[in-house]
Structure 1
Amino acid sequence: MNKNIALILTFVLSLFVSNCASSSVGIATSNKPIPNTPYETVKTVDKTFTWYALDIIIFGVHLSEPPVANLYEKVMEEETGDALVNIRYWNEKAIFGPITRYRFNIKGDLVKFPNSQTPSKTKR
């Protein structure tokens, strides 16, 4: 009986230990071009977005919509800013059996331009 319990516990522990997790990090100056444009820092923003997928061998189905399509716009709309500067980000993927959890974190300084005008690109 004790052997069976030890075997089951070893199996369960090996499931947790053998799962993978991977991540990457990055840095960017801003999400919009702001050369020689004065701006006022509103606050520091730190948001984490999470979504899940069901992965079976080579087939994967997202259980929820990945929120990374308009990520910067979502952050700026929620916090009422014009741009993000000093952007730092990381993403992480953790696999728990057939379920995969994706997390994406973005941190940066939310800024506002004078007169609430977003600078446009100039043609050269």
Structure 2
Amino acid sequence: MKYMLLIYSDENAWTDDEQERCYQESVQLTQDLHASGKYLGASPLHSVTTATSVRVRDGKRLVTDGPFAETREQLGGYFLIDAQDLDDAIAIAGRIPSVYKGTVEIRPILELTGLPAKPD
């Protein structure tokens, strides 16, 4: 089953050295997941200060800087995995370095028919 692991943390909680170490450990995790056939994708996101939110209300498009909701923890990246089950996804989420300073939300992927095939 496919799962999206959404990584939330306070961007200000990381020193530059901690952030770099987190990236290195995350790259190693992606290599491990790839070797076991569970890796589908992963990436950190740029700072929340670069975010743009779009909403349509009463037929009008509203564009604002930043995330839609202000919270202490922001979405900072993701892993897309193919896990055996939720227990396997939980075990993988526990290996993501950001889990020590933030939260990893696990969401099963709802697969829809009729979507374009993934490019090779």
**TM-score scaled by structure 2?**
0.28
- Higher relative CO (Cα under 8 Å, sequence separation at least 6) belongs to 2
**Richer in strand (by share):** 1
**Richer in helix (by share):** 2
**TM-score scaled by structure 1?**
0.28
Report which of the two structures shows the higher radius of gyration computed on alpha carbons: 1
